[in-house]
Amino acid sequence: MASKKILVVEDETDIRKLILYNLAQERYQVLEAEDGEKALRLLQREKLHLIILDLLLPGMSGLELCRALRGRPETARLPILMLTAKAGEADRVVGLEMGADDYLTKPFSPRELVARVKAILRRSDMQVSAREDAGYEKGRLKIDFATYEVTLRGRPVRLTLKEFELLRVLVQNPNRVLSRDRLLDLVWGDETFVTPRTVDVHIRRLRKAIEKNDRKPEWIVTLRGVGYKFDEKAVEA
Ligand code: CA
* Tens digit of each residue's pLDDT (9 = 90 or more) over 124-137: 887 766 666 688 99
Instruction: Examine the pLDDT at 1 and tell me if it is beyond 60.
Output: no
Residues 187 and 177: their CA atoms lie apart, in Å, by 15
Centre of ligand 1 from the C-alpha of residue 56, in Å: 4
pLDDT (tens digit per residue) in 39-95: 999 998 898 999 999 988 999 999 899 988 988 878 888 999 999 876 656 666 666
Centre of ligand 1 from the C-alpha of residue 49, in Å: 22
Residues 188 and 163: their CA atoms lie apart, in Å, by 11
Centre of ligand 1 from the C-alpha of residue 99, in Å: 19
pLDDT in the model for residue 87: 60
pLDDT in the model for residue 67: 87
CATH number assigned to the domain covering 5-124: 3.40.50.2300
Centre of ligand 1 from the C-alpha of residue 74, in Å: 26
Centre of ligand 1 from the C-alpha of residue 191, in Å: 35
Instruction: Examine the pLDDT at 22 and tell me if it is beyond 80.
Output: yes
Centre of ligand 1 from the C-alpha of residue 55, in Å: 6
Centre of ligand 1 from the C-alpha of residue 16, in Å: 9
Q: What are the sequence ranges of the domains in the chain?
A: 5-124, 135-236
pLDDT in the model for residue 193: 79
Q: Are 5-124 and 135-236 the same fold in CATH?
A: no
Centre of ligand 1 from the C-alpha of residue 61, in Å: 9
Centre of ligand 1 from the C-alpha of residue 41, in Å: 19
Candidates 20, 53, 21; CA nearest to 38 is 53
Strand 135-138 vs strand 102-105: parallel, antiparallel, or unpaired?
unpaired
Instruction: Please check whether residue 194 is in contact with residue 184, taking contact to mean a CB–CB distance below 8 angstroms.
Output: yes
Residue at 102: amino acid letter: D
> pTM higher than 0.75, yes or no?
no
User: Which of 48 and 237 is assigned the larger pLDDT?
Assistant: 48
Task: Return the CATH architecture of domain 135-236.
Answer: Orthogonal Bundle (1.10)
Instruction: Please check whether residue 187 is in contact with residue 165, taking contact to mean a CB–CB distance below 8 angstroms.
Output: yes
Strand 141-144 vs strand 135-138: parallel, antiparallel, or unpaired?
antiparallel
**DSSP string of 22-43, one letter each residue:** HHHHTT-EEEEESSHHHHHHHH
Instruction: Please check whether residue 31 is in contact with residue 8, taking contact to mean a CB–CB distance below 8 angstroms.
Output: yes
Centre of ligand 1 from the C-alpha of residue 64, in Å: 14
Q: In sequence order, which ranges of 146-195 are alpha helices (DSSP H)?
A: 161-172, 180-183
pLDDT (tens digit per residue) in 174-219: 888 999 988 998 898 877 778 888 999 999 999 999 999 999 999 9
